[in-house]
Structure 1
Amino acid sequence: MMKRILIAVLGAISLSACAQSPQDDAPAARSSQTAQPPAGVQPAEGTPEERALAAVRILSPNLNADHIGAAPLPGFREVIVGGQIVYVSDDGRYMFLPGQGGALFDAVAERNLSEDSLSTMRRDLLKTIPAGERIVFAPAKPVHTVTVFTDVECGYCRRMHDEIAEYNKQGIAIEYLAFPRMGIGSEDYRKMVSVWCASDRRKAMTDAKAERPVPDRDCKTTVNMQYNVGQRAGLTGTPMILTEDGIQVGGYVPPQALRQTLDKLAADKAGRMETAAQQAQPAGDA
């Protein structure tokens, strides 16, 4: 559990959702961005070791470190928790988790700084895929829209699609992109090409995920392009859920939990924009 919490919070949420249980997905659904801390909030007091432990315990108050010592990186402590190494800056503010996406985490702001850069890149990558190449399941008036890299063979992709009506009831539009996990040229890939070549892609997607036969078809598609974009976006497993801002919010996330996460991200973004506007306001203006 400790290892899962560290991975989820520090941004390595591109782990395969198909290899997780539903309970394991809850940490992954946690927002990767939160509002900036109130004015005056400072890193923990004490020795570098005490500050390192306090920073790690932001993830969970009950975490106990197996080891805290000097790190090979100057200005950092090395903390081992549940077999996972975390490097914490001596002031207790920044955490770095090597080997799991290399995420840099601001413990005071509770913000994944690496995710900020990644989300911008993902957003730009998604723009390269034409809107007409997405298979869309949306309510009449969506509140949120997410892009989901999906696979017709993945169990959690199928589970997510089984609940597509509930996602829509939550005001969430799902825009599917193809990511055949077995690779280009595989049987999985050929099935997804057949889905994208179908005259009714939505029905073909539903049939394929329900293990109903989909007629073999071949045509010019962007499935290869979508697969390539998924790889460049850091996808290692399906499904992969991305917000309109390119923020990864997990693998499989239940409909209500996804709505809560998207609402929080929207509120945090609005709060940051309001703060930035206030800071940009000339002194003396009302």
Structure 2
Amino acid sequence: MEHIPFMKRILIAALGAISLSACAQQAPQSAQAPGAQASSANPAAVTAAKPAAGTPEARAVDAIRQLSPQVTVDKVSAAPLPGFREAIVGGQVVYISDDGKYLFLPGSGGALFDVAARKNLSEATLAGMRVDLLKTIPASERIVFSPPNPKHTVTVFTDVECGYCRKMHSEIAEYNRQGIAVEYLAFPRMGIGSEDHKKMVSVWCAADRKKALTDAKTDKAVKMVDCKNTVSMQYDVGQRAGLTGTPMILTRDGTQVGGYVPPAQLRATLDRLSGEDAKPAAAPAKPATGA
């Protein structure tokens, strides 16, 4: 599972999403003594402790803290990009527009945030593309675990060896009880041609795919077979969809809502994204008793 930088995780969490990588470990926040001053080696740099009010530096710090109030901003300075400040937060470099409206996280999977709207603009663009990509995978190629009348449906790129994929699948009955249908797609994280890939091909070639997937995720024997399959295609779609770790949970509109997310928490997140108040799933009706 790929490690996701601390700053990106906390900003995404602040925007109401879940960590993209269920296996990522929480890194400690950088410590800073009260009133610490900027390094004399970089006169342009200022600490976030007391930036002059009304300056681009102050607006940069305010923008970061709007998204995640608990973080320590170690330094803010002029950026190489005109019209932006450069900040170091939790060991990560971020860029904030001088008016404080936009924040950009560079690097692999970089994202542009609208600070006031608390919206990941890059994610919105990716979401639309993901919907189109998922349409290329036939419904018959998904392994579906669903309640009779699902309230929400998510697509989950999964791997049979990933610990958090296994944890999620061990709770599949509870996801269904929460009214969530799970449509699995294959993402053998060890790559095409690996033993992991061959095992997932065997799952997709099985007569009973649901049983084979459950067996594979619980270390039960799965008959190793080959057939015409779409596992490699699904793997390619996952990469193009911006997958950084398994499991990857996507809503119907292509929004990524995390790696592993507990059933009740996922239901609450899906309710919120659909504009509904989070409501607990109804308890099973008690059987009627005779007179």
Q: Place the TM-score, normalised by the shorter chain, in its bin.
A: 0.7 to 0.9
In structure 2, distance between residues paired with 1:10 and 1:170: 23
Of 83, 90, 96, the residue aligned with 1:75 is 83
Of 71, 77, 84, the residue aligned with 1:63 is 71
Instruction: Evaluate the alpha carbon distance shift between residue 260 and residue 67 of structure 1 in structure 2; reply closer, same or farther with a 3 A threshold.
Output: same
Are positions 1:193 and 2:201 aligned together? yes
Are positions 1:5 and 2:10 aligned together? yes
Question: What SS does the aligned partner of 1:105 have?
Answer: strand
- C-alpha deviation, 1:13, in angstroms: 7.0
Structure 1 or 2, whichever has the larger Rg, is 2
Amino acid at match of 1:20: A
Are positions 1:20 and 2:9 aligned together? no
The answer on whether the counterparts of 1:152 and 1:180 sit within 8 Å (CA) in structure 2 is yes
The 4+ residue runs of structure 1 with deviation greater than 6 A are 10-14
Instruction: Evaluate the alpha carbon distance shift between residue 11 and residue 229 of structure 1 in structure 2; reply closer, same or farther with a 3 A threshold.
Output: farther
Instruction: Evaluate the alpha carbon distance shift between residue 57 and residue 80 of structure 1 in structure 2; reply closer, same or farther with a 3 A threshold.
Output: same
In structure 1, distance between residues paired with 2:89 and 2:76: 9
Amino acid at match of 1:135: I
Partner of 2:274: 266
Instruction: Evaluate the alpha carbon distance shift between residue 260 and residue 15 of structure 1 in structure 2; reply closer, same or farther with a 3 A threshold.
Output: closer
- C-alpha deviation, 1:151, in angstroms: 0.4
The answer on whether the counterparts of 1:86 and 1:97 sit within 8 Å (CA) in structure 2 is yes
The answer on whether the counterparts of 1:122 and 1:233 sit within 8 Å (CA) in structure 2 is yes
Aligned-residue Cα RMSD (Å) equals 2.1
Of 38, 51, 54, the residue aligned with 1:46 is 54
Question: What SS does the aligned partner of 1:192 have?
Answer: helix
Instruction: Evaluate the alpha carbon distance shift between residue 109 and residue 225 of structure 1 in structure 2; reply closer, same or farther with a 3 A threshold.
Output: same
Of 105, 109, 125, the residue aligned with 1:97 is 105
- C-alpha deviation, 1:102, in angstroms: 1.9
Amino acid at match of 1:142: P
In structure 1, distance between residues paired with 2:154 and 2:135: 13
Question: What SS does the aligned partner of 1:174 have?
Answer: strand
The answer on whether the counterparts of 1:10 and 1:104 sit within 8 Å (CA) in structure 2 is no
- C-alpha deviation, 1:185, in angstroms: 1.1
- C-alpha deviation, 1:235, in angstroms: 1.1
Instruction: Evaluate the alpha carbon distance shift between residue 182 and residue 76 of structure 1 in structure 2; reply closer, same or farther with a 3 A threshold.
Output: same
- C-alpha deviation, 1:11, in angstroms: 10
In structure 2, distance between residues paired with 1:124 and 1:137: 22
The answer on whether the counterparts of 2:215 and 2:221 sit within 8 Å (CA) in structure 1 is yes
Aligned residues: 246
- The 5-angstrom pairing of residues 252-263 of structure 1 reads 252-263=260-271
Partner of 2:165: 157
Instruction: Evaluate the alpha carbon distance shift between residue 11 and residue 224 of structure 1 in structure 2; reply closer, same or farther with a 3 A threshold.
Output: farther
In structure 1, distance between residues paired with 2:256 and 2:177: 21
Partner of 2:283: none
* Alignment gaps of 5+ in structure 2: 28-52, 277-291
Partner of 2:181: 173
State the percentage of identical aligned residues.
72
- The 5-angstrom pairing of residues 61-140 of structure 1 reads 61-140=69-148
The answer on whether the counterparts of 2:15 and 2:118 sit within 8 Å (CA) in structure 1 is no
In structure 2, distance between residues paired with 1:100 and 1:106: 19
- C-alpha deviation, 1:237, in angstroms: 1.4
In structure 1, distance between residues paired with 2:105 and 2:240: 21
In structure 2, distance between residues paired with 1:264 and 1:109: 16
* Alignment gaps of 5+ in structure 1: 25-44, 269-286
In structure 2, distance between residues paired with 1:101 and 1:12: 15
Of 220, 226, 249, the residue aligned with 1:218 is 226
- C-alpha deviation, 1:12, in angstroms: 10
Question: What SS does the aligned partner of 1:129 have?
Answer: coil
Question: What SS does the aligned partner of 2:185 have?
Answer: strand
Amino acid at match of 1:165: A
The answer on whether the counterparts of 2:189 and 2:196 sit within 8 Å (CA) in structure 1 is yes
Amino acid at match of 1:157: C
- C-alpha deviation, 1:46, in angstroms: 2.2
Amino acid at match of 2:100: G
In structure 1, distance between residues paired with 2:163 and 2:251: 22
- C-alpha deviation, 1:15, in angstroms: 4.7
- C-alpha deviation, 1:100, in angstroms: 4.2
The TM-score with structure 1 as length reference comes to 0.81
